[in-house]
Chains A and B, each alone.
Chain A
Amino acid sequence: MALILEQMPIVISSLNVGFLQTLKLFFVTLIGAAPLGLVIAFGSMSSFKPLSWLCKLIVWIIRGTPLMIQLLIIYYFPGLVFGTPVWGTGESGRFFAASVSFIFNYSCYFSEIYRGGIQSVPIGQEEAGLVLGMTKRQIFFKIKLLQMIKRIVPPMSNEIITLVKDTSLARIIALQEIIWAGQAFMKGSQGISGAIWPMFFTAIYYLIFSGILTVLLSRLESKLNYFR
């Protein structure tokens, strides 16, 4: 026990550094994938068939293969095949590649949620807007968007909570996120080795962060409960 207390500051500061990387990957993915998902959603609903097929093909491939494979391919492919590691070197290069992989992957999942949300708004809403002389743009932004958001908040919450934990997959390309940082103390780092307790601390970081997100998202959900 005394030993744990003694090692605590070293472990915590190391986990903090790892967690910062986790947070960065989380927010970059969210900010990138949320709009890109909308683009893919509109693409797959397009009446221009080749575009719609292309979008559906991409979604099928990305959702049908493990994110871990996508990470490995995206990170190593340019370097191994063309001899040019486009992502740059070191931790920033790994973060760049991980961000691209995550944004791609998550935008495909988001796009399907958006598509479901858009298509679940009754056609009568659009028709009512049309006969009132509104433009397609006004109908989307003033009428359909909020109804769509209301419908997608629960499934999006699910994806967002999953994303928190999925960020740990980036350690497969040696991104130094929080699990990587915690595991280092099992292998041996900064004079500490064979310690399992940092792993429990790592879990607590996840729990607290996903707990905060859950509260925020359910608050958003109840805020949108003023209409049906």
Chain B
Amino acid sequence: MSILELRHLRKSFGKTEVLKDINLTMEKGQVLTLIGSSGSGKTTLLRCLNFLETPDSGEIIVNGENLLTGNVSEKELRRKRLHFGLVFQSFNLFPQYTALQNVMLAKQLMAKEQPDYASNKKAINEAIEYQAHELLKKMGLADRENNYPHQLSGGQCQRVAIARALALEPDILCFDEPTSALDPELTGEVLKVIKGLAETDTTMIIVTHEMSFAHDVSDIVVFMDNGYIVEQGTPSEVMDNPKEERTRKFLSHY
């Protein structure tokens, strides 16, 4: 069973159709990159997966379960959205919390809803803190965990944001242009972290303009234009030997 399957996904904002019949499939452990010019619908697609936008029609099937089933309660929506994690272009760290607290917060709040929280409070919180330590260590930020976001560089902030998303162990981790707000040097350190995740078989969907990185890291490359998927396949199919004129034209800019 595929970890993710999108069928006939459509989304309009007013009269503008932003996603037109999106179909794709990916397997567990794969890395899928979405490329295409601004306004092609890549970000909207990611936001639909994370339920920040509601698609007009179609199916989002995760591990065989269609998540788009009309109106659901907030609780149900929260459960569905946790299949996905999202790393934003502008990090969106919580400024009043340290790096460590940023990573722990959501999990701590969730733990409080567990029935055994009252009796296991100490053990649960210790486990959450241990996990957060480990994640930040993995991101190379062990010595930064007590810093506030404004005391960190952009690259460090983005790595905290990645740790924060990983803490909830999503099935699929999404990145929305994770390095667009960073200078080339900081871009490198973030891309390295993402590559590291790819090597440990983290399932990821990445919107990016870093073409050589996309070529390197992807199992599937999806080229979008004007709300359509123009072409999808392996990096060598889509990026080295594109079939469509539109894809060739886009890639020629890089």
Which A positions have Cβ atoms within 8 angstroms of B?
122, 124-125, 127-136, 138, 142-143, 146-147, 150, 226-228
In angstroms, how far is the closest chain A Cβ from the Cβ of B141?
18
With a cutoff of 8 Å between Cβ atoms, the chain B residues found around residue A122 in the complex are 92
B85 touches A131 (CB 8 A): yes
B188 at the A interface (CB under 8 A): no
A127 touches B105 (CB 8 A): no
- The interface bits of chain B over 138-150 (1 if a CB of A lies within 8 angstroms of the residue's CB, else 0) are 0000000000111
- The interface bits of chain B over 106-150 (1 if a CB of A lies within 8 angstroms of the residue's CB, else 0) are 100110000000000000000000000000000000000000111
> A122 vs B50: C-alpha distance in the bound complex, in angstroms?
18
In angstroms, how far is the closest chain A Cβ from the Cβ of B80?
10
Residues 189-217 of B contacting A (Cβ, < 8 Å): none
- Nearest residue, chain A, Cβ from B80: A133
- Nearest residue, chain B, Cβ from A124: B92
With a cutoff of 8 Å between Cβ atoms, the chain B residues found around residue A138 in the complex are 109
B88 at the A interface (CB under 8 A): yes
Contacts A132-B106, A135-B74, A142-B105 known; A125 to B81 CB distance under 8 Å? no
> A218 vs B129: C-alpha distance in the bound complex, in angstroms?
34
Chain B residues bordering chain A, tally (CB within 8 A): 28
Of the candidates B92, B96, B148, the one whose C-beta lies within 8 Å of that of A128 is B92
With a cutoff of 8 Å between Cβ atoms, the chain A residues found around residue B81 in the complex are 130-131, 133
A125 touches B110 (CB 8 A): no
With a cutoff of 8 Å between Cβ atoms, the chain A residues found around residue B148 in the complex are 226-228
Sampled A-B contacts (20; CB under 8 Å): A125-B92, A130-B50, A130-B51, A131-B50, A131-B51, A131-B81, A131-B85, A131-B86, A133-B79, A133-B81, A133-B168, A134-B78, A134-B109, A135-B74, A143-B94, A147-B95, A147-B96, A228-B95, A228-B148, A228-B150
> A130 vs B106: C-alpha distance in the bound complex, in angstroms?
10
> A147 vs B94: C-alpha distance in the bound complex, in angstroms?
9
> A138 vs B110: C-alpha distance in the bound complex, in angstroms?
10
A135 touches B78 (CB 8 A): yes
A133 touches B106 (CB 8 A): yes
B92 touches A227 (CB 8 A): no
Q: Interface centre among A124, A130, A133, by most B CB within 10 Å?
A: A133
Q: Interface centre among B74, B81, B93, B94, by most A CB within 10 Å?
A: B94
B52 at the A interface (CB under 8 A): yes
With a cutoff of 8 Å between Cβ atoms, the chain B residues found around residue A125 in the complex are 92, 94
With a cutoff of 8 Å between Cβ atoms, the chain A residues found around residue B165 in the complex are 131-132
Tell me the number of A-to-B contacts counted with CB atoms below 8 Å. Answer: 63
With a cutoff of 8 Å between Cβ atoms, the chain B residues found around residue A227 in the complex are 95-96, 148-150
- Nearest residue, chain A, Cβ from B161: A128
With a cutoff of 8 Å between Cβ atoms, the chain A residues found around residue B52 in the complex are 127, 130-131
With a cutoff of 8 Å between Cβ atoms, the chain B residues found around residue A143 in the complex are 94
A128 touches B82 (CB 8 A): no
- Nearest residue, chain B, Cβ from A125: B92
With a cutoff of 8 Å between Cβ atoms, the chain A residues found around residue B94 in the complex are 125, 128, 143
Q: Interface centre among A124, A130, A131, A150, by most B CB within 10 Å?
A: A131
Q: A122-B92, A131-B84, A133-B78 are in contact. List 13 more A-B contacts (CB 8 A).
A: A124-B88, A130-B52, A131-B51, A131-B86, A131-B165, A133-B82, A133-B168, A138-B109, A143-B94, A226-B148, A227-B150, A228-B149, A228-B150
B164 at the A interface (CB under 8 A): yes
> A127 vs B81: C-alpha distance in the bound complex, in angstroms?
12
With a cutoff of 8 Å between Cβ atoms, the chain A residues found around residue B168 in the complex are 132-133
In angstroms, how far is the closest chain B Cβ from the Cβ of A123?
9
With a cutoff of 8 Å between Cβ atoms, the chain A residues found around residue B85 in the complex are 131
- Nearest residue, chain A, Cβ from B167: A132
With a cutoff of 8 Å between Cβ atoms, the chain B residues found around residue A132 in the complex are 105-106, 164-165, 168
With a cutoff of 8 Å between Cβ atoms, the chain B residues found around residue A130 in the complex are 50-52, 81
Residues 67-106 of B contacting A (Cβ, < 8 Å): 74, 78-79, 81-82, 84-86, 88, 90, 92-96, 105-106
